[in-house]
Amino acid sequence: MKAVLAFSGGLDTSICVPLLRDDEEYGYDEVVTVAVDVGQSGEELEKARNKAADIGVEHHEVDAVEEFAERFLAPLVRANGSYEGYVLGTAVSRPIIAEKVVQVARETGASALVHGCTGRGNDQFRFENVFRGLMPDAEVIAPIREYSLTREEEIEMAEHYGVHVDATREEPWSIDENLWSRSIEGGLLEDPGNEPPESIFEWTASPGDAPEEPETVEITFEEGVPVALNGDERSLVDIIRELNYVAGEHGVGRTDIVEDRILGFKARENYEHPAATVLLEAHCDLERLTLTRRQLKHKSTAEAEWAELAYQGLVHEPLYEDLNALIGSTQKAVNGTVTLKLHRGTATVTSRESPDSLHRDDLASFESDEDQSGAEGAVRFHGFQG
């Protein structure tokens, strides 16, 4: 019997392998691991590869970076994707990872799909609804949840099985990384009253230590999607990578929030997402120049719904595509270039221009000599009902 496991080489997923093999209830003699490249660092992928070799399993690596950017991040930018202020990194990567796991299961003739999520988080929902949707006959297994393992017990179990893990009792972070963002949870971070130690951050400089000199970046959008950085046409993946680096150096893109999870309880979360901050700031700003007041108002409602579906991983719910279509239609006008200044943790828009700008000098300017008397009638009736 063969099981395919979504694998990062971290503590949770590493423990899953001996459990799948040794547990009488599971008893899978063959475990195949899959790491999906969604833009996490090369070291992360290497860690998974080495760990799989260590444990002695057949390991597959699937490159999905471009596809992730095109199918999930472009719509996210257009929808200004954010759930309660969280930029939706992990959430939007899970469906594509789950899809690739199913693909490997089919290729290798496996009958079970496995993830290493705990029974507390959101990822179990995101993985399983795609697993069940695409491969309804497969057995779905979640060893960490089924054993109700604590992180401490997992570390003990890793020692018992001789599986080397990076997580320690002092730094037991659960980290998830992709092209768009990095999340850090666990240990002392769980208490919302604790300040995060500087050592959890890898993508961003501490704003206080960032360069004194601001740096300017220029983002060009076509139909709501970034197509150029500082005037150079680049792929979305390249733009994001470059901005993660440049804006990260300026300490841009840290979020520390208390978030409402799918299961209904609150969890404290830390994130790093420099490119996302810059691109979403720029995109929102350009929309304010190019969309009508009514489009903006209605779009914000659609965005909230979109973000909730994305957060829950419900990208196969038909409404998700309906919302993408509606949002996509508004984006026809979202063309132009936005300039931002990066400085000590902030990304501030300083100018914007667009061939589709709705801004009219002749109407808005203090200097316009346009006849103003026409406003009188509108003003007179403006509080009429009151």
Task: List the catalytic residues.
Answer: 12, 94, 123, 174
Which residues from 243-262 bind ligand ARG, rule CB under 6 A?
259
Q: Compute the least distance from the CB of residue 182 to ligand ARG, in Å.
A: 9
Using rule CB under 6 A, residue 176 touches ligand ARG: yes
Q: Compute the least distance from the CB of residue 55 to ligand ARG, in Å.
A: 20
**DSSP bridge partners of 218:** 339
Contact at 8 Å (CB) between 352 and 338?
A: yes
Which residues from 185-204 bind ligand ARG, rule CB under 6 A?
185
Using rule CB under 6 A, residue 44 touches ligand ARG: no
Q: One symbol per residue from 108 to 147: x for binding ligand ARG (CB under 6 A), - otherwise; what is it?
A: -------------xxx------------------------
Q: Compute the least distance from the CB of residue 97 to ligand ARG, in Å.
A: 11
Q: Which of 35, 263, 5, 22 is nearest to 139 (CA)?
A: 5
Contact at 8 Å (CB) between 274 and 345?
A: no
317: left (phi over 0), alpha (psi -120 to 50) or beta: beta
List b or e across 287-322, with b for residues whose CB sees 16 or more CB atoms inside 10 angstroms. bebbbeeeeeeebeebbeebbebbbbbbbeeeebee
- The alpha carbons of the chain give a radius of gyration, in whole angstroms, of 24
List b or e across 351-380, with b for residues whose CB sees 16 or more CB atoms inside 10 angstroms. ebebeeeeeeeeeeeeeeeeeeeeeeeeee
Which CB atom, from 129 or from 354, has the smaller least distance to ligand ARG? Answer: 129
CA max distance for the chain: 85
Among 269, 281, 285, 287, binds ligand ARG (CB under 6 A): 269
Which CB atom, from 69 or from 87, has the smaller least distance to ligand ARG? Answer: 87
Q: Compute the least distance from the CB of residue 39 to ligand ARG, in Å.
A: 15
Among 103, 111, 174, 295, binds ligand ARG (CB under 6 A): 174
Residues that bind ligand ARG (CB under 6 A): 90-91, 121-123, 174, 176, 183, 185, 259, 269
